[in-house]
Amino acid sequence: MTLVSTSELVAGARSAGGAAGALNIVTLEHAEAVVAGAESAGLPVVLQISQNCVRFHGGRLAPLARAAVALAEASTVDIAVHVDHVDELAVLQQAGEVAGIGSVMFDGSRLPFDANVAATAGAVEWAHARGLWVEAELGEVGGKPGAHTPGARTDPGQAAAFVEATGVDALAVAVGSTHRMTTRTATLDHALIRALTRAVPVPLVLHGSSGVPDGELRRAIAAGIAKVNIGTALNVAFTGAIRRHLAAEPDAVDPRTYLAEARAAVAATTANLLATLRPPAGATVVSPSASGPGRTGSGGGEGGLGGEADRGGSGGGVDCDGDGDGGRA
C-alpha cells in the first residue's frame, strides 16, 4: 500500500461497485488527518489540492504536494495525489513538475462550449505527454459566484461530444450538488446520472458532495458516479474543533493543542465518509457505454460524514478546498 495513480483508484473503486473518495487538503494537518482517517477505515483515498489552495500558499504547489506524496508513500493504504480545478497555465505546469502527482482537473467550465473544448483538449495533450490523468468539467456545479449557478445540469449529448473532442479521462458533471454547503440537504438527479453514464465512456465525478446525504451518495454511486469530491465537510470539522478548544481554553497559545484536535476531527470525518463510499455487498456495477473505466494518462446512516461536519455551521477562514472554494474549486 503506497502512492498510486488516481486512475488506478478510480478504476478499482468502480470495478468493485463503489467510488473513489477525493478529499481536499489545505494544510499539512489536513493531509495528515485524511491519511489517518483512510488508514483507520482501511480504504484508499485521493488527496486533492485545489488551485485556490495553491494561491493561498503563495502560488507554490510543490511544498504541500510533496508533503502529500511523502505521506502517501509511507501510508498503509493506497493514496493518490491530484490537483483540482486548474485554469491557470502556471499551476498546470507545476502539477507536471512534482513527482508523484498522478492527475489534474482542468476547469474550462466558465468558457463557452467550443472554447472549453479547445482549452481542455490543449491541456489534455500537454498533461498526457507528462503521464497525468485528466479530469474536466462540463455543466457548472451550483453554489459558486459568477459562472456557477444553482440548477445547472450537464446535457448527456453535449457531454459525449465533449469527451470525444477533448480526450479527457474523467468528467465532472452538474447533477444537483452545490459547492460550499454546510448542511446535507442536496437532492441529486439520479436519472440524469444514469443517462450520463450511458452517454460517456469515462468515469463521472461528483463535485460539491459535502451537502449530499449518505443515501443520495450511495444512489449516485449505484447510478454511475465513480469519484466523489469532498472539501467543505472537512473544513467544518477542522474549524469546529478549533472553535471548541479555544472556547474552552481562551488563553491557549500553543497551536499544537488545537491543531491536534482539528486533525482528529478531520480524520474521523474522513473515515466515516470513505465507509459511505465503500461498495455494498453484492453491488451491481453500472458500466460506461464504452469498454473499460475510461482513458488513462498514467499508470452508515444519514449524517455519516461524522463529527462537526454533520452539525452544519460555517467552516470559516480561507476556503480553499475543492468542494467549497472561496472562488473556484
Rounded to whole angstroms, the Cα distance separating 138 from 110 reads 9
**And the C-alpha cell for 97?**
513538475
Rounded to whole angstroms, the Cα distance separating 155 from 134 reads 20
Rounded to whole angstroms, the Cα distance separating 86 from 95 reads 10
Choose the catalytic residue: 78, 84, 155, 323: 84
Q: Which residues touch 234 (CB under 8 Å, ≥6 apart)?
A: 23, 24, 30, 33, 34, 266, 269, 270, 309, 321
Phi first, then psi: what are they for 179, rounded to 5°?
A: -65, 155
Rounded to whole angstroms, the Cα distance separating 54 from 25 reads 11
Rounded to whole angstroms, the Cα distance separating 142 from 150 reads 4
Planar angle of CA 114, 118, 124, nearest 5 degrees: 140
For residue 59, give the nearest of 82, 104, 89 by alpha carbon.
89
84 is catalytic: yes
How buried is 283 (Cβ within 10 angstroms: 0-12 exposed, 13-18 middle, 19+ buried)? middle
Contact of 66 with 80, CB cutoff 8 Å: no
Rounded to whole angstroms, the Cα distance separating 74 from 154 reads 39
Enumerate the active-site residues.
Answer: 84
